[in-house]
């Protein structure tokens, strides 16, 4: 969707808020939770067919998993918004060479998984289910996949998890919502209604969901990598992990953008795994 069309939708939802703030919140959250891309193309499908695939049913949603067996411990990969497991191809090849066992999942409403809606909390539950089933020792998440791994280990800690790597991860819901509201041009009525919707559905206001704060309660080594030129998730989000959790290993990069698909980044990950 282009910016002008998004602003038009935002105007319509703003107008709706004067008649029914609750309905406006429902519309805005549904739009926020509906990915526009992230499905598999032919190239991705062919590559992922090299893995052992299994569909895991959770809450009536089929979650596609991909397994590459190795002799070392298991690393779980969780992609971000409007992406899929194929985004990890380069890292998967490196980890295969090093003989790690790799398990990856397509998020709900992404890749070959079922569902039409996505939210980080449900994603975190899926990550927990898959990590538990395959006895993962390390979680690696990109973007909202990173934030969801933190939510997962905070809400349902697994003793098997020893390390977590976050790549360009959003720090908290407040800023994520603010960026979305600014993009759409929502008024204060919609913003407040969205917060109340979250409270009603998940028992907490957006302020509660702070991944850096949650990391304080997680008994695992944590690596956070964030690029200074990230135009999707601001560099300041990465600094919040560094500031709020003294045990975190924070690595700053420059020029790799939000994707962080670079040999330097992969070397940092491998060093973290081997430490």
For 209-230, the pLDDT digits (tens) are 999 999 989 999 999 999 999 9
Residue 58 three-state SS: strand
Domain boundaries, position 144: 33-172+209-274
In the chain, the number of structural domains is 1
pLDDT at 243: 81
The CA-based angle 93-81-182, given to 5 degrees, is 145
- pLDDT over 80 at 2, yes or no: no
Tell me whether residue 193 is in a domain. Answer: no
State how far the Cα of 108 lies from the Cα of 118, in Å rounded to an integer: 6
Give the pLDDT band (50/70/90) at residue 275: confident
Q: What is the pLDDT of residue 244?
A: 61
Q: Is there a domain that residue 261 lies in?
A: yes
Q: For 234, which DSSP code?
A: -
pLDDT of residue 36: 86
Average pLDDT over residues 32-50: 92
18 assigned to some structural domain: no
In the chain, pLDDT over 90 holds for what percent of residues? 91
Q: Does some domain include residue 5?
A: no
Q: What global pTM score does this model have?
A: 0.95
Q: Which of 11, 20, 87 is nearest to 48 (CA)?
A: 87
Q: How confident is the model at residue 182 (pLDDT cuts 50, 70, 90)?
A: very high
Q: Hey, how many other C-beta atoms are within 10 angstroms of the C-beta on 188?
A: 10
Taking alpha carbons only, the member of 127, 131, 48, 55 closest to residue 89 is 48
Summarize the confidence of residues 158-166 as an average pLDDT: 97
Q: Is residue 107 in some structural domain?
A: yes
In a domain, 200, yes or no: no
Bridge-based pairing state of the strands 101-105 and 61-68: antiparallel
pLDDT band at 264 (very low <50, low <70, confident <90, very high): very high
pLDDT of 1 reads: 61
Tell me how far CA of residue 135 lies from CA of 142, 158, 197, 255, in angstroms.
20, 9, 35, 35
Which pLDDT value is given to residue 39? 86
Q: Where are the alpha helices (DSSP H) in the chain?
A: 3-17, 21-32, 42-48, 89-97, 120-133, 144-155, 173-184, 188-202, 211-215, 235-244, 263-274
pLDDT of residue 3: 74
Cα distance between residue 154 and residue 9, in whole Å: 35
Chain length of the chain: 275
Decide if 198 is inside a domain: no
Q: Is residue 124 in a domain?
A: yes
**How do residues 68-85 score in pLDDT, each as one tens digit?**
999 999 999 999 999 999
107: domain CATH number is 3.40.50.1820
pLDDT of residue 6: 84
Tally Cβ neighbours within 10 Å of residue 274. 7
Quote the mean pLDDT of the chain.
94
């Amino acid at each position: 969707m282009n910016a002008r069309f998004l602003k038009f939708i935002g105007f319509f939802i703003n107008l709706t808020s004067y008649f029914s703030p609750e309905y406006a919140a429902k519309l805005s959250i549904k739009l926020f939770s509906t990915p526009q891309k992230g499905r598999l193309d032919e190239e991705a499908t062919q590559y992922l067919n090299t893995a052992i695939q299994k569909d895991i049913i959770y809450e009536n949603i089929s979650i596609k998993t991909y397994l590459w067996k190795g002799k070392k411990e298991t690393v779980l990969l969780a992609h971000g918004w409007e992406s899929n497991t194929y985004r990890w191809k380069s890292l998967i090849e490196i980890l295969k060479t090093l003989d790690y066992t790799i398990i990856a999942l397509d998020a709900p409403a992404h890749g070959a998984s079922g569902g039409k809606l996505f939210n980080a909390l449900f994603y975190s539950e899926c990550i927990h289910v898959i990590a538990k089933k395959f006895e993962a020792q390390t979680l690696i998440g990109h973007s909202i996949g990173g934030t969801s791994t933190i939510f997962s280990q905070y809400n349902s800690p697994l003793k098997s998890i020893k390390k977590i790597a976050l790549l360009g991860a959003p720090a908290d819901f407040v800023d994520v919502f603010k960026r979305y509201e600014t993009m759409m041009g929502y008024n204060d009525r919609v913003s407040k209604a969205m917060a109340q919707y979250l409270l009603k559905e998940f028992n907490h206001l957006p302020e509660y969901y702070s991944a850096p704060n949650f990391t304080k309660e997680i008994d695992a080594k944590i690596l956070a990598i964030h690029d200074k030129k990230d135009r999707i998730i601001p560099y300041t989000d990465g600094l919040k992990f560094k500031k709020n959790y003294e045990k975190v290993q924070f690595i700053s990069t420059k020029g790799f953008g939000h994707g962080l698909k670079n040999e330097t980044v992969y070397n940092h990950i491998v060093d973290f795994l081997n430490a």
